[in-house]
Structure 1
Amino acid sequence: MAFKIGSLLFILIFGSFLLARIYAVGPLVWLKRAALRGRALEGADRRELVARVQQLLPQANDGNVIFSLHRENSSSGGSKVTVISTTYYYNVFVVDGDFLWVLPMAYDKRQRSYQLGTPVRFSASDVRQVRLTGTHGKTLTFHFLLELDGRKLELAMALTPYCFRLSKYYPFTLLQEEACKKARQTAERMAFIACNLSASELEKGRLKDECGNYALYAVCASVFGLMCTPTESLIPVLACFAISLILFGVMLSKKQVPKVSAVLVILAAVGSYLMMRP
């Protein structure tokens, strides 16, 4: 019995760590988010960042400076071993009327120091494509395809109202809700002028991407349920598959139908059932 309980705890802890490390979700993230809220309210990191930006752009202020951290996961390897790596893109954006300034940011995670690069301004006339991803209340990311001086540039502006130091790759703990709101309005105007995309059309694309994440989490939950099956306890197994069903319910409420993910969850459920049969 002790071995089974230990195995279950290991699976749950490992799963929580994996979700936090790769997808920045899960109980570990929620706990740290709550613990650092007070520091964000103090505003020390925010004041320092705005002051540094003002040295390069005097029009910068607390209401128009946005720190953007965009994460991209990629996998490599063969059929036996797959390595998942994460790339972090750091930028600072400044809203200036109908324009946006972007300042590249070089972050030294060991020294906890950063340097800001030369500001570059762009407007709707420089935008070729725009799409929106992310989750309301957490991070909304505008993905721009720009053409500056004859060169095409892909640029992601991640709008996170509450940034916190989840790990050594996250440089700040700060609040920037007002600035994010202003940047979103400017980006939506750019999308409409440059690509004839309304806010509702951007939201439709975002919703499809968000539900894709829900489908992924549903599959992960079913895999954890399958891994818990050898403990011969129904509670964790049922809990995992219940999470999958809840996530599918959320997708359906947003008028998105799970397809491949539903098949994978069903296969995991069948496998779990066969393993538990006497």
Structure 2
Amino acid sequence: MVSPPHEAMHRIFQEYPRLFTGVAEALDLEFTPPSSVTILPTDLTETRPVERRVDTLLRFDSDGDDSFLLAIEAQGKKVPDKPSSLAYYLSFLSTKYKLPVLLLVVCQDRATAEWAARPASLGPRQWPALTLHPLVAGPHNMPVITDPAEAGADLALAALSAITHAKEPVIDGILKALSAALRNEPEAVVDPIVEFTAQGVGGTRRAAELWRNLVAVDLSFYKSYLVEEIREEARAQGQAHAILHVLAQRGIDVADETRDRITSCTDAVLLDTWLSRALTATSATELFAEGDA
């Protein structure tokens, strides 16, 4: 089964094809920004019953004669036979489209990235017939974006920064900068960034929980599936705990008397109301309105 991080690592390029411009800059690759980008079918199946699919395939066209294909593969671990499959992909695409093909492998850990970056030769050791030289984007070379202004300048690259650094200690600063950059963006812009980031860091529990909390607090105005999911979990696991957790994440002090009032309440509707208020309250006392139990 394909994991959410795997999907996020390549599908973000489908949603934001020009993201490769920022990746190329980070990799010190000489690259002319395209005049247009086309998302192509990823099916590389032949007439024989052998099915092969590249994760994401883009066609970059410019005003000059510099058109090329970008094949993007999300790689979660070392797979010994993968270089042979990738060589097949590139040969097939070159034959089918009659265009140069560039391979980008996106990874979330340094060991896999280093493995993927090594040239892979096919053929006898004495005379390799073909050598694979992929570009690799991972925690070793993608920018660490911890400034909200920098994140806001390129939200897609900031999301990719979070995805590729999901297992690194710097993920906290990246996610906080990204959530802050999204606060003043319209819902149509926020929606895919929130989803790709949630998928991309979903394989790392600590990062996933931090992103969920940031979305619930910083983007409380935004009724995303993530916010609704958090609320459902709060009902199942204890709404009182969720209220106190949100207040703690927002740095709001809670007096013992207030804590006791929250934890002793058994009214699910009232607890849900307090949870909603906790997302925007500036003090713990603002959770309560006249008439509350």
Q: Which has the higher contact order (CA 8 A, sep 6+)?
A: 1
Scaled by the length of structure 2, what TM-score is found?
Answer: 0.28
Larger radius of gyration: 2
Scaled by the length of structure 1, what TM-score is found?
Answer: 0.29
